Chains A and B, each alone.
Chain A
Amino acid sequence: MSRDIVLRTEKLTREVSSPEGPLTIVRDVNLEVESRASVAIVGPSGAGKSTLLALLAGLDLPTSGKVWLAGSDLTLLDEDGRARLRAERVGFVFQSFQLIQSLTAIENVMLPLELAGRKDATERSQSMLERVGLGSRVGHYPRQLSGGEQQRVAMARALVAEPAVLFADEPTGNLDSITGGRIVDLLFELNTHSATTLVLVTHDTALASRCERVLRMSNGTLLDGGG
């Protein structure tokens, strides 16, 4: 339990009920991630990667086992407590971007800052958008942006509040390889820049290979124990 551990799990298990009876989709996952590390979770479709990510970020609760995120035991927090923790310490990037269609690019980026009650939301968002190369598109609605541009807005939004951990679920899944490559570059650049821990789920071997650690997942379990 070194001081540098930002994310830790203990026998993390998630069961769901299905028509064929209970189904364990994440089983006994033990994992430790150090601060500033970059971790890729890979595995075949249906292995339980997204489910694990949701558990790590407190979007979902485990059936049994424990998760510590930035020092807090997520299983002891209620929904609002986990939300507050996310507001302060966590950023997200999704395969499908998840921008709010009725808000412009900058308004989407401002959202986490506004939720945290920050006064300098506009300026910080503006400079964040400039850093991802969208300084001239701040007033555009998601619909008016290409997929790559939308994902860059999403990244700006994920990183604007300087989270301790950035979770990404197939951030390049919806993008062509060139655009995806640029997004990945940006991701790592921002990671080093702002001292964020990266936990990402991906099918993209190029992306996985750039991470310090690669965890393989199959049938709900981590193959190499996670170490």
Chain B
Amino acid sequence: MRALDMAWRLLRREWRHGELLVLLLSLSVAIASQSGVGFLVDRVSRAIDLQASEVLAADMRIESAGALSAESEFEAQRLGLRTAHLTTLLSAVFRNDANQLANIRAVSDGYPLRGTLTVSTTPFTPGSKSVGIPAPGEAWADSRLAAALGASVGDTLMIGARDLRLTQILISRPDQGSGFVDFAATVLINEADLASTQLVQPTSRLTRALLLSGERAQLQAFRSWHASQPPNRERVRDVSDDSPQIGSAARRAGRFLAIAGLVAVLLCAVAVAMSARTYVQRHLDTVALMKTLGATRALLATISVIQLLALALLATLLGCTAGWLTQEWLVHVLQNVLQTNLPPPGFGTLFASVAVAVTMLMGFALPSLLQLMRTPALRVLRRDVQPPPIGLLLAALPAVLALGLVVITTLDDWQLSQWFFLSLCGALLALAVVGTGLVRMASLLRKGGARQWRYGIASLARRRMESVAQIVAFGLAFMLLLVLASLRRDLVEDWRRLLPSDPPNYFFVNIPTSDKDEFYDRLVALGARVERMLPMVRGRLVRINDEAVDAVRSADVGVREGREAAPAATGMRATGWGRGGSGRGLAEREQNLTWSFELGDDNRIVEGRWWTAADAGKPLVSLATEFQQRLGLKLGDRLTFAVGGETVVATVASFREVKWDSFRPNFFIVFPPGLLDGAAGTYMTSAAFTPRTGSDLAQLVQRFPSISVFNVGDLLAQVRAILDKAVSAVQSVFLFTLLAGVTVLLAAVQSSRDERRHETAVMRVLGAARRTMVQNVLVEFGALGLLAGVLSASGAAFSSYYLARILDVQYRFNMVAWVGGVMLSTVVVALAGWLAMRTVLDQPPRTALG
């Protein structure tokens, strides 16, 4: 109680005196940049999620071949999720005598929950956004159906037993890309009319889907609830299940943003640590005096902690407000680049920001405070008495704990967190050790060299601890920024490379072996850029080691039955489109198998090894990591496949990470050539191709009637929109973290300012010219910047290499960047030092007498 009272009074007094203003300011700026990045990351990742969700026309779908359970919808509504229904079935649509097989999609109000429908009055025109869905009694046919039937707006279409009036031509819908199963022409009708078509019979093949949208937490809650239900025929799908390329782009962007956010937090932490040092330096005398006057350590500690907490709260409040405003302003400025209205930041982010700020303060300021408490009372008599050096454990433990907590919660990925955390600790240690060594070396240098240099270097060497702390702070800040910069560059370049100006927009499946070469030549003649052509046979996984897949299946608890949503003959599964949602599904249905010697640069071996020529015909198999995870496979497992009438037993030789977003033919399961060659199969490929006239494709299809053609252009456009958004988000978030870096710089420079004030005055009394003093400062900070720069540029190159692997981008060492980083660090630190010391340098000599 007395401590609280005293703490409060001292705080008020110090506050009035302006003593705490500097600390408050630097804390606030640090928290502002951290929360600013946090807010921006949150908003951008929501925008990306939203965009990605359009592919499903919802955030999540519950699909079932039969009826949907009422509980699911009830639970969804209880959780506050928005819902809509979608029933799909295949049936003929009639107009007078003409008829055409079409996908009938009956939807309820609210569809689509994400994205928009565009409609027109004429087929094959751009159309405009529609509000709502077809009213009861109406039908919206797509261009293809309308053209095939020769129907125009106002005509009557017959679907099953029901006559509906064609009121709009459906130009596009957000979920047309998903699954790639909807090649058949499409007609959209109101759910209310479905029963009267009399198409819904016990035997009819239809899919019912419950569309859901809402906040991430709500969706997560729904998913957990659903997983806890007894197994039924329902299956949960979200974007990453449904559209791996969008899922993967969004995931990588999300990871980068999370890392960027974390970097901002770390920079904030460094700034806090440096500010705390300043605080401690300023309070050493006070603490010694208070001890002399009879204050116990407990009392002093309580006072400091209360002071710090109060400061933390105030700084957090100010910082978060400033961060929010800055971020608003940034979004406003970036509006044109981002091309959308970003969703507002969530309240959760605000809390997270506050929590992070307080955790960082406690973790990084506490060791300094403990140190302060240990100042001997003797300091009142002997100025040079310092607190005993703090134990490494005591110094590092709170920081390590705080860091671990923040890293794990921010990244939300155990492996990445572990990696990040360990390398961070490693970097800190390396910086401290090498920094100490370098400062030692500098103190040897002070003996020789020109006079102007000597003072600057001497100053470095004398304030040894301070110099090392500054090197570590600068070095860490630069390193984090350099890593982020290089990662950003690699990621953006990677995306740009992935989506060249004309990525494959057509897929061709079921190419007969005999037609393969001719078809290829024809395509090339039409001006297409054709990707690799891969053989394809169908097969079923029947055993894993000695276990029949059935046994595996029943042990695979919690996995829902996967049902092929549509005619599987398309083979699109093999490409990764509409990748199945469950291990059970993967194991149970027919798979597309291929063989190849070439890995392709969109595949990366993560375990095991890829074939050599010597492996031809050996019973080996390479699996995509998705397949591995869902079935829990490991290298050396023996898989038995039923291919045609035969069985093939193969040993798992490698796992591949596949970049599905390359839009090239890719398979979950790849064998070495020579093993399956006998099996009768077909080929598939993809191509970038703009038909000059509509007849190009028609002719091609006529010549090769068995070949199925899929246009993925719309999906591509969606992916590109997401990537563009991700790229600009990554750029702007990076800008923000740069701001955080500047804070560190200022906090670090600030920390030695007080001491220099007196020293400078003395030097000037002794007759040093102002110019000499400026030179000293420039030399000293330039040297600091150089040392920090060398360390951080090397560290950054090292860790970028690993981070790039985790983010799955290609790393390139860049000498120019290394040298540039070192030079930048030298110049920036020297300038910052000069800026911060300017007022100190202007001290009139008489202050030395005060």
Contacts and interface: CB of A to CB of B under 8 A. Distances in A.
Interface stretch (B109-117, B295-303, B525-533): B295-303
Contacts of A94: 380-381
A88 B294 contact: yes
Interface in A65-90: 79-80, 83-88, 90
Interface stretch (B12-20, B616-624, B769-777, B781-789): B12-20
B297 A79 contact: yes
Interface string A44-61: 000000100110010110
Contact of A54 (B19, B293, B297, B378): B378
Given A50-B381, A59-B377, A60-B378, A115 B14 contact: no
A100 interface: yes
Contacts of A57: 292
Among A57, A115, A157, max chain B CB count under 10 A is at A115
B286 A59 contact: no
Contacts of A87: 293-295
Contacts of A88: 294
Contact of B381 (A53, A79, A104, A112): A53
B285 A115 contact: no
A86 B292 contact: yes
A60 B298 contact: no
Nearest to A94: B380
Interface residues of A, number: 34
A116 B6 CA distance: 11
Contacts of A107: 13
A42 interface: no
A60 B376 contact: yes
B703 interface: no
Nearest to A99: B289
A83 B286 contact: no
Question: Size class of B's contact patch?
Answer: 20 to 34
A84 B19 CA distance: 28
B382 interface: yes
Contacts of A83: 291, 294-297, 377
B17 A86 contact: no
A141 interface: yes
Contacts of B289: 98, 100
Interface string B288-326: 011111111111000000000000000000000000000
Interface string A107-120: 10001101111000
A132 to B, nearest CB: 17
Interface string B1-42: 010001001000110010100000000000000000000000
Nearest to B291: A83
A183 B299 CA distance: 33
Contacts of A116: 294
A169 B382 CA distance: 11
A112 B294 CA distance: 7
Interface in B510-552: none
A92 B294 contact: no
A100 B292 CA distance: 13
Interface string B678-708: 0000000000000000000000000000000
A63 B290 CA distance: 24
Contact of B293 (A60, A102, A115): A115
A101 interface: yes
Contacts of A103: 13, 17
Nearest to B15: A102
Contact of A86 (B13, B294, B298): B294
A84 B17 CA distance: 29
Given A53-B381, A83-B295, A84-B296, A115 B290 contact: yes
Contact of A59 (B9, B285, B381): B381
Contact of A100 (B9, B286, B378, B850): B286
Q: Which label, helix, strand, loop or mixed, suits the secondary structure of the B interface?
A: helix
A50 B382 contact: yes
B248 to A, nearest CB: 57
Contacts, number: 79
B297 to A, nearest CB: 6
A111 B291 CA distance: 11
A68 B35 CA distance: 56
Nearest to A141: B17
A104 B2 CA distance: 21
Contacts of B381: 50, 53-54, 59, 94, 169
Nearest to B17: A102
A57 B295 CA distance: 14
B292 A114 contact: no
A98 B290 contact: no
A111 B290 contact: yes
B299 A114 contact: no
Contact of A112 (B2, B293, B380): B293
Nearest to B377: A59
Contacts of A84: 294, 296
Interface string B349-393: 000000000000000000000000000111011100000000000
Contacts of A101: 17, 19
Among B19, B285, B294, max chain A CB count under 10 A is at B294
A208 B286 CA distance: 30
A115 B378 contact: no
Contact of A102 (B19, B298, B380): B19
A79 B376 CA distance: 9
Given A59-B381, A169-B381, A102 B294 contact: no
Contacts of A86: 292-294
Contacts of A169: 381
A71 B781 CA distance: 54
A86 B299 CA distance: 15
Contacts of B285: 98, 100
A94 B291 CA distance: 15
Given A92-B380, A94-B380, A114-B6, A102 B13 contact: yes
Contact of A117 (B2, B9, B19): B2
Contacts of A117: 2
B7 to A, nearest CB: 11
B376 A111 contact: no
A57 B377 CA distance: 10
Contacts of A92: 292-293, 380
Given A54-B381, A117-B2, A169-B381, A80 B296 contact: yes
A226 B292 CA distance: 26
A134 B6 CA distance: 25
A72 to B, nearest CB: 13
A143 B850 CA distance: 9
A19 to B, nearest CB: 15
Contacts of A80: 296-298
Contacts of B14: 102
A53 B382 CA distance: 12
Contacts of B376: 59-60
Contacts of B291: 79, 83
Contacts of A50: 381-382
Contact of A115 (B297, B298, B299, B377): B299
A59 B289 CA distance: 10
Contacts of B295: 83, 87, 115
A115 B300 CA distance: 10
B31 to A, nearest CB: 24
A112 to B, nearest CB: 5
A170 to B, nearest CB: 10
Interface of A: 50, 53-54, 57, 59-60, 79-80, 83-88, 90, 92, 94, 98, 100-104, 107, 111-112, 114-117, 141, 143, 157, 169
Given A60-B376, A83-B297, A117-B2, 12 more contacts: A53-B381, A59-B292, A59-B377, A85-B294, A86-B292, A87-B294, A98-B285, A98-B289, A102-B17, A103-B17, A115-B294, A141-B17
13 contacts: A79-B297, A80-B297, A83-B296, A83-B377, A86-B292, A98-B289, A101-B19, A102-B14, A102-B17, A102-B19, A111-B293, A114-B6, A114-B9
Closest 3 CB pairs of A and B: A87-B294, A102-B17, A80-B296
